[in-house]
A and B are shown apart, each in its own frame.
Chain A
Amino acid sequence: MATTSGYVQRLTLIQASDLACVWVGPSPSSTEILTVLMAAGDSEAVVRHKRSLINLLAEAQIARRQVEVQHPDDSAAIDQVSYAPPYGDAPVQVDAIEVTQGIQDLAHSVPLLAGKRTVVRVYLSHPASPGITVRGEIAVRSGPSDVPFVIQSENVAVLQPAEAGNLPIKREDVDRSLNFVLPSTQEGPLGIEIASITDTVTDLDVAFSGDYRPAVWFHASAPLRLRVVGFRYTQDGVAHVPTPLDFALLQSWLGRAFPAGTLFVTTTIADATAAVPFNCGSINAQLAAMRVLDMDAGGDERTHYYGLVSDGGFFMRGCAGVPSEPSPDAVGSGPTGPGTWGWDNDGSYGDWYGGHELGHTYGRRHPGFCGESMSDLDNYPFENGQLANDNNSFVGFDVGDPANGIAMRALPGTQWHDVMTYCSRQWLSAYTYLGIRRRLAAEDALGPDGVPGPAPGPGLEMAAFGGGRPDARFPHAARRGEAAEARPERGAAAAAPAEGADRVTVSVVATVNLTRPSGTIRHVTPLERRRPPKDVGEDAVLRVSGAGGEALGEFPVAVRLDSELMEGEDRKGIIDAIVAVDPAARLIELVVDGTAVDRYGIGGGVPRMKALRMESAAEGLRVAGEAEAAEGVTYAVQASSDDGASWQTLAIGLETPSAEIDRSQFAAGRTVRVRVIATNGLQRSIVMTDAFKT
């Protein structure tokens, strides 16, 4: 008998002849071809034996474990197959290789995402005393013809004989594995093998056994689109604003913990319009009004908005909307500051706190283990809100962020808790990670204009449904086409449908307490683009009337309740509605439980701006305008760095046409325009500055 050893490099199963062809060898270019043939005359026992051979070979190929295949000297027909002995005489054993991007188990059941920072952890044992200290190299490649790319370990590991084979203790300590940071990953496969292990004392390579070469797949992922607004407020004469570190660490944490390979994050600072000490509902209302104005001016409808509030003056508890369906318009806000909460020592807690509130905006609810509401108790899979039930399954892993001084760190699954709890030591469990990943994908499919399906691209018109190669088809195209027919175009107000053509599309944002009942209409903004009604519901009513009190319409609307309501607390939330009102309207009333709880005057003549200029201010720029005095007029400030293709709101609800602008939000050397919108809630006028370089 002959023995062929190596890896199963290729496997082909041909059903017409019930023949399995197996290429076995040390590398794809150095193999021997062997076979398993199920013949018609084989007994049932022989057939079962051959099936076991094929199954074992397939498993070995997928797991990339070495095999020993026995066959006659003069034949390629396989008689026996065995995995190569996992542990030989070599001093170092390879216990496992784990590829992690934040949360993972040894079976790699959490999908890996292309573009996301990735760490390969190699777990080694040295059973003989004394222990040794090693460093290592791995080689990675995406295909058999690729030149392997060699990566050095980030650290050295001390292999203690007492810890030989103890995987849990190694997985829970970043220093007990050799850790390798992969270069930027692309969608597709990646093969990993250990190239060398070196004794750091002798500087000599050490032999190792139990080697296997895992192959993993990096999936495409939907990007996370986010605009972070830092809210500035003044209390007792002192201005409070989130620090650059607050912004940087929030973005860093989302990149390390959230399931997205790409983050599109923009930031700005805006003055809070609510009186101090405001609550998160008021901030969310302002944020929602800013968002709708941005979307009206060319923004990507899939962008989430989050408000950061410094705790320098007072502590604003955070909250967010929790949409059950993909709704990027759900906004959230929360506090930030240097507090450690007993476990977070990176200098800003706004990162994980923001992750919690943003998790709500992606539909995640509270598991209910540490004082938070029990809105997801039945579904959460792990005890006590932990990342895992025992130390043999999921382990969190912070891949680190050298740019912000964040070190790699293992996060034991029984000691760390899900970010949607109120427990200490927060990270994303696999449950939350996969849930947010699904929601991100669903939101991504909405398209930049909020229409389901991928945006049409070159060649779409040539692609057919149900035929051709899978990667050449666009199954969403039909759905998208149908939706597009019903969709108003951007800037299409002039080409309005016959019915209601004279109506004005208006955004109404209000804070509401359904328990009292009470509420305040915060912002009423006419939109340039005609849009369908939004947030229709039965929680409250917007009642519109004319100058003489004549009824001009009633619009039932939904209230998006705050995420952090506790049992017994008033049911508070915001209305973020879009309605089409009669141009003769002069009043909008907010009706809750049959009672008009607030009223907001609109219309009555187009507000006029007279002049606008840009000035240097202490910490940035100042836009200063002059306007005719008019009652009920408010002002919004927007900036564009793409020559007016889209505009981002920097301030809204101003009583005068002046605002300070944070210069740091613009990349250096960009050409920027600033405009001020004056509005009476029904009409608006716009004055724009000349373009200037930042």
Chain B
Amino acid sequence: MAETIGLVQRLSILTDTVTCVWIGPTPDNTEVLLVSNDGSTTDASFANSMIHALASASTNYREVAAVHGDSDATVTSVRIEPI
């Protein structure tokens, strides 16, 4: 698994199942990742909370760690560390 750490520079909610998030140290140096869900109520709600946390981190310039596959941009977990 790979981990991308940085500020949430951009967040785009595209559909009810796909959201793109750009994470990196500066706006022009990011990795684009996906938050998706399988359409079920529980998975959609959980993805919604993940997006909420990413949005909150973005507006407050808080660093996040997003875990995803080595060759896969789909986020499997998000972590916000203490300061």
Contacts and interface: CB of A to CB of B under 8 A. Distances in A.
Interface of A: 7, 9-16, 18, 20, 23, 28, 38-40, 42, 44, 47-48, 50-51, 54-55, 58-59, 61-64, 108, 111, 141-144, 189-191, 215-217, 219-220, 469-471, 473, 475-476
Contacts of B11: none
Given A216-B61, A217-B7, A470 B42 contact: no
B20 interface: no
A47 B82 CA distance: 27
A9 B57 CA distance: 14
A216 B83 CA distance: 10
Given A14-B77, A62-B62, A191 B56 contact: no
B21 interface: no
B47 A15 contact: yes
A144 B82 contact: yes
Interface residues of B, number: 40
Contacts of A189: 61-63, 83
Given A28-B82, A217-B62, A471 B25 contact: yes
Contacts of B37: 15
B42 A39 contact: yes
Contacts, number: 123
B12 interface: no
Interface string B60-82: 11110000000000011111111
Given A48-B45, A189-B62, A58 B7 contact: no
A16 B82 CA distance: 23
A48 B44 CA distance: 11
Interface string B40-55: 1111011111101100
A473 to B, nearest CB: 6
B15 interface: no
Contact of B80 (A11, A16, A38, A476): A11
Contacts of A23: 82
Contact of B82 (A10, A44, A59, A190): A10
Contact of B26 (A11, A15, A55, A220): A220
Given A143-B83, A189-B62, A15 B75 contact: yes
B45 A38 contact: yes
A190 B60 CA distance: 12
A47 B60 contact: no
A111 B61 contact: yes
Given A47-B45, A58-B53, A191 B78 contact: no
A142 B31 CA distance: 24
8 contacts: A13-B46, A15-B76, A62-B60, A217-B60, A217-B61, A470-B6, A470-B23, A471-B29
Contacts of A469: 4
A475 B56 contact: no
Contacts of A215: 60, 62, 83
Contact of A51 (B49, B80, B83): B49
B30 A191 contact: no
Given A470-B4, A470-B30, A142 B79 contact: no
B29 A475 contact: yes
B59 to A, nearest CB: 8
